[in-house]
Structure 1
Amino acid sequence: MLSQEMIDRIIDEAFDVLGTIGLQFEHPKALALLGEHGQRIDRAAERAYLSRDFVERAIQSAPKRFSIWNITGDRSIEVGGDNVTYDPGSAAIKMLEVDGKVRPSTSADYIRLARLVHQLQNIRASSTSLVPSDVPIEVSDFYRLYLAVQNCDKPVVTGLFREESFPATLEIMTIVRGSEKEAVEKPMAIFDACPSSPLRWSVLTSESIMQCARHGLPSEIISVPLTGATGPVTISGTLVVHTAENLAGIALAQAVRPGAPVVYGGAPCIMDMRAGQTPFGSLETYMIDCAYAQIGKTFGFPIHSYMGLSDSKLVDSQAGSETAMGVILAALAGVNIVSGVGILDFITCQSLEKLVIDNELCGMAYRLIDGIRHRHEKMAIDFLPEAVKAGHFLGHPTTLKLFREEGYMPGKAVDRASAPQGGGGPSDYQRAQTIVKELLAREPFHLAPEKVRELDKVVLREAKEFGMEALPAFAG
């Protein structure tokens, strides 16, 4: 996507931005910490000017790979290199029903989504990807994690809505792991931290980065400059802002604790000036994503992006084409955490049926990056005499042994059967509806009952302040 010369120019200009324009840090402790590390601070303007030397030291100290673990702590995913992991992503506030109607999401919706993700093999991480409307917004951040760890055994991409929520969030992870030491040594979650473009770090975002770094938990920077709106109108200019915001977050994390794990990420987007919208499924948005992946990999960082989603309002051909384009490009770009499968309508709506279909797209992407392998010393000549005599390879031992490895075998969401007599057949959306019902009818993942009771106590204790006296019917 970018030439090496252009990458170098974008990085150099981002360093100039950090040192001459600086960034606004609204958190006094963030400003004070950066000042203690010798950076120029304008306290009246809440601005920090970061030197190239300081940021380059932070780049060196930030880990280039780390692991996140499943809820039971017996399997891990390496985040870094060209390893690719898909997750449902973001914090949607709406749920798409099978009849096409949309309504506010609930705890029951999130539980169904998490149970589905638990069984979809190509979606290798979970996320707190729905915000339930049936609990106070003040507790909805850690409440989502509370639901996640009970209903899916995969690592979780999550985040805070309030800086006061971090202690309860850490307590939830500690209960699940058995100790805070285990929660840190085997982190089950990555925490999103979203700077406000252009070049501003809120109290919440700074606090999230600092708390995670202090405890050794992974952060994921979600820089969101929008071309012509909160970033320059050119893609290259927007990449400069995105680079500067990511480097500032990494520098802050390393100032707290050298070696703190951080993912270089974001959700930058082209701006559609006609509609006044941010099309996350557009080609230009994916171009920005692939370009910043190149920049982040130049530093050696793990990479995150939103690339498995659609702006369509329904699970239709637009949803399929936008999602497929993003899923494939992310895999080819070596993005490590790819968020957004299942998502529609500018990252505001989730669909269980889309999630099932997207799972197959992710499987195809994994097959693509697995490449074409040289499995034998001779690729064909050793097998040809026998096959020529038989007239086919169907019964050959190598065929029986390797056909499942050479070709991805999709599930029932993908139609590869012969057409029934008279033509027709169910659509992919109808097939996905059937699969959703089948998967949700299976025995779900269960956390140990004693841990669930402890988690219930934490949520009710914290929620009582905001008028929540009991858990929603599907939560406990």
Structure 2
Amino acid sequence: MTDVISRRSGGRAARRAARAAPVAAEARSIKPGMSGGQYRPLSDDQVKQIHEAALEALETIGLCDAPQSGIDCLVSAGCIAGDDGRIRFPRAVVEDALGKACRDITLCGRDPQHDLHLNGTRVHFGTAGAAVNMVDVEGREYRESTVQDLHDAARITDVLNNIHFLQRPMVCRDILDNREMDYNTVYATVSGTTKHIGTSFTEPDFVGDALEMLHMIAGGEAEWRARPFVSNSNCFVVPPLKFATEACQVMEQCIAGGMPVLLLSAGMAGATAPSTVAGAIVQATAECLAGLVYVNAIKPGHPAIFGTWPFGLDLRTGAMTGGSGEQALLTSGCAQMHNFYGLPGGAAAGMTDAKLPDMQAGWEQMCSNVLAGVAGLNMVYESVGMHASLLGFCHESLILGDDLLGHAQRVLRGIEVDETTLALAQMREVCLGGPGHYLGTRETLARMETDYVYPTLGDRSSPKEWNEIGKPDLNNRAIARKEEILSQPSGARFDPALDKALRERFNIHLKP
């Protein structure tokens, strides 16, 4: 008995020593860009039916409200401008655009180690949204979001391994001038993280300021165009089947400036999109195909993410249901359509209708994030931090979401089966004259980090241990982690000379 206890103690000490040592990025059990595609909610025949329905919608219904510049581009590509003001898209025009479209996109980080390679079924998780409120976990209330909140979200994202990019998750409600809000959004995010960033612009004329700022940060226009580390999230359509005139003009400016674009169609099933899951996917697919024609008519092969974002709706009340099972199906079905076209795509998952980080938030976020990942969605937007059906953003939820996404990605990675993982040699060694258990064995220790994901804040203590350490609360631990991160200088902060130049050129609202 003494020998058994000694062996177990030694194994425990070895495990603790192994856990204490820092893990190299390449040795982690999960990493950005792992491949999904195992989950296919649609059959091959159903995918083709959705494709055909989308083509028919484009050819017979078309879209209206394009700006004149867009009409000119689309007509030059072979689209038909009708007397009713709608642009219709012959099948051959759509197929031509699909042939020209960029199928392998690299979204650059300011630091190249954070580059995201979008192709096939490689999966990346990140933020997004335009929340107008911040969730105050301690006060259990909502308040308007500020530029400091946005900067802090970027800083937190920068140190969380399982969140791969930052698309602007909230609006700077404390900056009333929209031009200043747009370029301050760029400043606040880029100075907070070196991961890839997505942002939006209110008006076409405001894009130039942001590009000037990005040229300064990159070291020149040529350097920016070689590695654009910010992309434009562009709601180019107003569902159902209307172009958003000003957003299209913004898109044109971004393409001219060398900025990748996300073609974002965000219909609400039952309101601005058909109430059926299949119908909502058809409409979103048709709208994004129209956007693809538009982009490639301007600049063939320009990097454009196929952003089908249909949202669910509670038909009893008209409220959005971002955390529903229907939302999970909408998102994973869209991922399957992206894979059918062979196009880099993105959609929304991980949203919750819960007002605070609680059990409802956990089940809603995990359901859609897991399905989006195993469906092979390249860019999983809004995967963490978003509450109250996108009306609120929460720093603590962002931190807790890093743990959640770690487990979601472990599911995405799946099960490897080979001679080593079948473990027959280990069984012989342990069972035939060995200790009779696998604790502390060479093989177990060797695979502790490469096979397993461990929560940073999640509690796995026994009830006795939990009581002894003061019964820690998960949200309180997230608050403490937030304060720890924000007590340190931003790892993405600008060189003082560059920051001085930016502040002399632009009215920066963040305090130095």
**What TM-score do you get using the length of structure 1 for normalisation?**
0.93
Counterpart selection for 2:198 from 141, 157, 169: 157
Offset at residue 101 of structure 1 (A): 1.2
Offset at residue 185 of structure 1 (A): 1.8
Which moved further from structure 2: 44-53 or 337-346? 44-53
Seen in structure 2, the aligned counterparts of structure 1 residues 31 and 155 have a Cα distance that, compared at 3 Å, is: same
Which runs of 5 or more structure 2 residues have no equivalent in the other structure? 1-40
SS in 2 for 1:222: strand
Aligned counterpart, 2:409: 366
Offset at residue 395 of structure 1 (A): 2.6
Offset at residue 183 of structure 1 (A): 1.4
Which moved further from structure 2: 422-431 or 283-292? 422-431
Which moved further from structure 2: 75-84 or 337-346? 75-84
SS in 2 for 1:385: helix
Aligned counterpart, 1:454: 501
Aligned counterpart, 1:406: 451
Aligned counterpart, 2:309: 267
Specify the code of the residue in structure 2 equivalent to 1:177. Answer: A
Seen in structure 2, the aligned counterparts of structure 1 residues 256 and 421 have a Cα distance that, compared at 3 Å, is: closer
Specify the code of the residue in structure 2 equivalent to 1:226. Answer: M
Instruction: Kindly provide the CA deviation profile for residues 435-476 of structure 1, in whole angstroms up to 9, marking residues without a partner as x.
Output: 11222222322221222223323432xxxxxxxxxx43x344
Offset at residue 318 of structure 1 (A): 0.9
Aligned counterpart, 1:131: 171
Instruction: Kindly provide the CA deviation profile for residues 277-304 of structure 1, in whole angstroms up to 9, marking residues without a partner as x.
Output: 1111111112111111111210011111
**Cα separation, 1, equivalents of 2:466 and 2:488:** 34
Offset at residue 377 of structure 1 (A): 4.7
Which moved further from structure 2: 438-447 or 290-299? 438-447
**Cα separation, 1, equivalents of 2:113 and 2:270:** 46
Whether 1:9 aligns to 2:49 is yes
Aligned 8 A contact 1:216 1:261 in 2: no
Aligned counterpart, 2:392: 349
Offset at residue 137 of structure 1 (A): 4.3
Counterpart selection for 2:71 from 31, 34, 40: 31
Specify the code of the residue in structure 2 equivalent to 1:8. Answer: K
Aligned counterpart, 1:464: none
Offset at residue 148 of structure 1 (A): 0.7
Alignment of 1:71-90 (within 5 A): 71-73=110-112, 75-90=114-129
Aligned 8 A contact 2:285 2:308 in 1: no
Aligned counterpart, 1:329: 371
**Cα separation, 1, equivalents of 2:310 and 2:177:** 26
Aligned-pair identity in percent equals 27
What is the root-mean-square deviation of aligned Cα atoms in Å?
Answer: 1.8
Specify the code of the residue in structure 2 equivalent to 1:418. Answer: S
Aligned counterpart, 1:320: 362
Counterpart selection for 1:419 from 463, 469, 474: 463
Aligned 8 A contact 2:203 2:247 in 1: no
SS in 2 for 1:6: helix
SS in 2 for 1:346: coil
Aligned counterpart, 1:236: 278
Aligned 8 A contact 1:89 1:129 in 2: yes
Seen in structure 2, the aligned counterparts of structure 1 residues 39 and 384 have a Cα distance that, compared at 3 Å, is: closer
Counterpart selection for 1:382 from 404, 425, 439: 425
Specify the code of the residue in structure 2 equivalent to 1:21. Answer: I
SS in 2 for 1:64: coil
Higher relative contact order (CA 8 A, sep 6+): 2
Q: Structure 1 stretches (4+) deviating beyond 6 angstroms? A: none
Instruction: Kindly provide the CA deviation profile for residues 210-268 of structure 1, in whole angstroms up to 9, marking residues without a partner as x.
Output: 23333442111211222221112222222221111000001000000110111111321
Offset at residue 45 of structure 1 (A): 4.2
Aligned 8 A contact 2:103 2:119 in 1: yes
SS in 2 for 1:420: helix
SS in 2 for 1:312: coil
**Cα separation, 2, equivalents of 1:278 and 1:70:** 32
